[in-house]
Each structure stands twice: as structure tokens, then as C-alpha cells.
Amino acid sequence: MTTLSPETIAELRATAHALADAARVAIMPHFRNAGLITDDKGQGRFDPVTTADRAAEAAMRAVLAIRRPDDAIMGEEQEDTPGTTGLTWVLDPIDGTRGFIAGTPTWGVLVAVQDHTGSLYGLIDQPYIGERFEGGFGHARLVGPHGDTPLASRGTRHLADATLFTTFPELGTDGERARFNTIRNRVKLVRYGMDCYAYALIALGQVDLVIEAGLHPYDVAAPIAVIEAAGGIVTDWNGGPAQHGGRILAAANRHIHAEALAFLTGLPA
């Protein structure tokens, strides 16, 4: 239960939308552009960053410097900025950069605001498709080309009826992959890729589970807020808090979460 005033909540929501709007403007000239400049961060597997990633985060930070200068900022492409309000903006300018440089449309901009308890509110925004998923402060909705749609995760109770997503087939370590495979072999449908869009589909009631490993806090802060606002649950693989990233289990409801969790617990941290 937040203790923030209605006025502060309204300002935070408006600021989040302003951040996503600014990111859209910064990113779209680069998408499917043959002149896109891509660098490799050099962290093992190809880990790209583009001029669009950097431009989008810079644009969002410029908005915060005007609208919320005393809040802290955690972003993917720049150093963390301390604050004094107890609130932190968590920014991922392009979640799914590999997909972005390949021209696929399911990457997204992630914006979240959190306090010491975790995510309070988040947006999963897809500039090219024009869809924006909102969750938190009593709101759970998708706004897009087809109008305004309430978000509500679905009630699938058993793995045999479930749809499961993960970004990479070669998920995590050998041990993590073995645990994932025990679930993969029990569900109705498995799909790969999608990055943050898979989490949005849980909130939309299209997908039951997303299981991943090796994530960063900026990868999960916004999806946590959106999914939980829609009635789902996001934890780590031991059922604990997920805001620090790492191994993530996102589920449409507590029943399917519990069934999946039983196969994931027990790995060392």
C-alpha cells in the first residue's frame, strides 16, 4: 500500500508517459535504418548497444532532470544517479536490442518507478507497434492502435494447459537449463524470443509463464509492475523478490506459478 499522495501519483504517471514519449521520438529514426551504429559491450555473448539505446536513455534522463530532479535514476546505458526522495526511476531504453537491430518489432522501452519495497508503477512501451502497457497505482491497461483494453492475466491452473515463453533457447547455465526443460516438456506450447513483450502478453491474458535467467534489475522493474497490476505474480526461482533480476519466474496467477516453481527451486544462488 503506497503512502504517496494522489497528486504525487498523478505526477509520477504523467512523468512515466512523458519518458516513454521521449524515448519513442529518440528511437524511431534509428529503427530499420541501415545507418544504425552498433557496438558490442564485450560481456561474453554478443551484447549490443546502439545509438538508439543511448539516445533514448539520454532523452528520458533529460525529462527527469526537468520534472523529477530529486529522484534517483537506474538506467542501462549510464551510471546510476542518486536521489533524495526515496523514489528511483528504472529505465531500459531498448529491451531487446538484438531484436531491434534485426528489425523485429517486439523490443520495447521499459519505464518503472520504485521505492524500497520494489516496483510501484511501470510501462512496457512498443514504439513501432504503438502499444503501451501500463500497470500500477490502480491502473492496468493497454493503449494502442485498437483502443484502450483492460489488462487481466488468465487463470490457467496446470502446466499441461500453459503457454511458456523464454527469450533464449540456450537459457542460463546447464543446471538452469535443465530445470527449465522440466517445465518446457510439460507445457502445451513453448515459444522463444519476444524479450519484454512476452511479459506484456502475460498481463494481456495471452501467455501463462515467462521463465528466464541472468536478467538485470532494469529488465524486470517495469514488467513486475505491469504483471502484478494485471493479477499475475513475478518472483525469482525460489519464490522470493524479483526486483534485483537474476532468475525470473513470471506467471499469470498463483496456481500456475506454484506448479512451475516446484520444478525450479533448489539451485544454488
- Tell me the pLDDT of the chain (269 aa) as tens digits: 678 999 999 999 999 999 999 999 999 999 999 778 777 666 666 667 889 999 999 999 999 999 999 999 999 888 999 999 999 999 999 999 999 999 999 899 999 999 999 999 999 999 999 999 999 999 999 999 999 999 999 999 999 999 999 988 888 888 899 999 999 999 999 999 899 999 999 999 999 999 999 999 999 999 999 999 999 999 999 999 999 999 999 999 999 999 999 999 877 76
**Residues 166 and 248 both lie in one domain:** yes
Number of domains in the chain: 2
Distance CA 67, CA 18 (A): 10
Domain extent, residue 48, equals 6-150
**Residues 10 and 140 both lie in one domain:** yes
**Residues 191 and 125 both lie in one domain:** no
**Residues 97 and 177 both lie in one domain:** no
**Residues 134 and 254 both lie in one domain:** no
**Residues 17 and 145 both lie in one domain:** yes
**Residues 163 and 61 both lie in one domain:** no
- Note whether residue 209 is domain-resident: yes
Q: Which of 123, 150, 177 is the last residue of a domain?
A: 150
- Note whether residue 79 is domain-resident: yes
Q: Which of 150, 184, 211 is the last residue of a domain?
A: 150
Task: Give the pLDDT score at 48.
Answer: 78
**Residues 21 and 119 both lie in one domain:** yes
**Residues 111 and 193 both lie in one domain:** no
Which of these, 84, 81, 87, lies nearest to 15 by C-alpha position?
87
- Note whether residue 108 is domain-resident: yes
**Residues 140 and 190 both lie in one domain:** no
Domain of 196, CATH number, reads 3.40.190.80
Task: Give the pLDDT score at 36.
Answer: 80
The 3-state secondary structure of the chain reads CCCCCHHHHHHHHHHHHHHHHHHHHHHHHHCCCCCCCEEECCCCCCCEEEHHHHHHHHHHHHHHHHHCCCCEEEECCCCCECCCCCCEEEEEEEECHHHHHHCCCCCEEEEEEEECCEEEEEEEEECCCCEEEEEECCEEEEEECCEEEECCCCCCCCHHHCEEEECCCCCCCHHHHHHHHHHHCCCCEEEECCCHHHHHHHHHCCCCEEEEEEECHHHHHHHHHHHHHCCCEEECCCCCCCCCCEEEEEECCHHHHHHHHHHHCCCCC
- Tell me the C-alpha to C-alpha distance, in Å, between residue 232 and each of 44, 97, 134: 33, 26, 14
CB 94 within 8 A of CB 27: yes
- Note whether residue 269 is domain-resident: no
- Note whether residue 146 is domain-resident: yes
**Residues 28 and 91 both lie in one domain:** yes
Q: Which of 127, 150, 173 is the last residue of a domain?
A: 150
Task: Give the pLDDT score at 130.
Answer: 96
- Note whether residue 142 is domain-resident: yes
Widest distance between CA atoms in the chain? 50
Task: Give the pLDDT score at 41.
Answer: 67
- Note whether residue 227 is domain-resident: yes
- Note whether residue 208 is domain-resident: yes
**Residues 211 and 85 both lie in one domain:** no
